[in-house]
């Protein structure tokens, strides 16, 4: 992928890259000795003097990953030159780990890029637990990933989840304010604790049935396992969650879906909303209506 701009001032190339093209310092350093910077078609270094009207171009190459490409099925919800959104199924890991380097979304996506002739890498913008399903967004290069990460840090990625829970909130909608911390030094699990990091979740009841409910959840912060921990803490754990809830309904996975994701496109500046084709229903629990 190539990004470019017409310089409006006289300056060294470096501030043009950092300010006009909004490249991160990490990306600028990574590309510094790779022949990636061009001014009016001439390959230059970052100390080159750029003048008004000069065409500045950057070739965004990507490093080869250490894990293999693997052919597998992907449900693509959105794709352009910068981003791709996948409707991830339950049971699929996002990325290889030291114990497992195949069968993940990253393996399948890398294969898809190679089959379609796209020199892209796998840069997750949003992430889901293995058994959480729905919309995941990935950038195709480090520059776009950096710009999307800034939106994430500024709370400009609008995420909505749907969940089936055991138990019911007392109100039709509300805000959960409960700090989240790691359970212990080496544990992957989290808990609500006074010394934890601030965590906020907005909820709305979509449907109630005997002993359970269908909720819409909006995480206002991005703590690990936040929705699962908050629902369990409030007394209505997510159905099928063996770590924070219980498996009373014999479900194969937790009933938590990343239903939609909204954001401003980093290149076109248009607002985009992507919705999962996967849906939840209290019919899954076999519970009679009230």
Q: Catalytic residue numbers?
A: 129
Q: Which residues, listed in sequence order, are joined to residue 261 by a DSSP beta bridge?
A: 159, 274
Mapped onto helix, strand or coil, the DSSP state of residue 112 is: helix
The Cα 84–Cα 259 span in angstroms is 16
Burial class (CB in 10 A: 0-12, 13-18, 19+), 221: middle
State in Å, rounded, how far the first CA of the chain is from the last one: 55
Residues sharing a CB contact under 8 Å with residue 6, sequence separation 6 or more, in sequence order: 53, 54, 55, 56
The Cα 131–Cα 166 span in angstroms is 17
Question: Of 195, 190, 215, which Cα lies nearest the Cα of 205?
Answer: 215
User: What is the CB-side half-sphere exposure of residue 264 using CA atoms within 13 A?
Assistant: 10
CB 82 within 8 A of CB 265: yes
User: What is the CB-side half-sphere exposure of residue 11 using CA atoms within 13 A?
Assistant: 13
* CA 233 distance to own-chain centroid: 24
Question: Of 27, 48, 132, 129, which Cα lies nearest the Cα of 90?
Answer: 132
């Amino acid at each position: 992928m190539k990004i470019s701009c017409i310089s409006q001032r006289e300056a060294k190339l470096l501030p043009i890259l950092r300010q006009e093209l909004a490249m991160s310092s990490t990306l600028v350093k990574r590309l510094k000795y790779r022949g990636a910077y061009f001014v009016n078609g001439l390959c230059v270094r970052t100390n080159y003097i750029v003048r008004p009207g000069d065409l500045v171009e950057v070739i965004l190459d990507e490093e080869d990953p250490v894990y293999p490409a693997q052919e597998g099925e992907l449900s693509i919800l959105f794709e352009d030159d910068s981003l791709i959104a996948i409707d991830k199924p339950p049971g699929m890991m996002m990325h290889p780990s030291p114990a497992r380097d195949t069968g993940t979304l990253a393996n399948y996506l890398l294969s898809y890029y190679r089959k379609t002739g796209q020199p892209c890498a796998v840069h997750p913008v949003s992430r889901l637990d293995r058994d959480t399903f729905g919309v995941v967004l990935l950038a195709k290069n480090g520059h776009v990933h950096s710009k999307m990460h800034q939106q994430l840090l500024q709370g400009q990625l609008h995420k909505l989840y749907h969940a089936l829970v055991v138990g019911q909130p007392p109100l039709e909608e509300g805000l959960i304010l409960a700090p989240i911390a790691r359970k212990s030094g080496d544990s992957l699990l989290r808990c609500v604790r006074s010394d934890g990091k601030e965590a906020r979740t907005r909820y709305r009841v979509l449907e109630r049935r005997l002993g359970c409910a269908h909720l819409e959840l909006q995480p206002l912060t991005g703590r690990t396992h936040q929705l699962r921990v908050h629902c369990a803490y409030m007394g209505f754990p997510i159905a099928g969650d063996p770590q924070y809830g219980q498996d009373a309904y014999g479900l194969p996975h937790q009933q938590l879906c990343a239903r939609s994701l909204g954001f401003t496109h980093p290149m076109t500046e248009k607002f985009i909303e992507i919705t999962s084709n996967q849906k939840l229903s209290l019919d899954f629990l076999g519970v009679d209506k009230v």
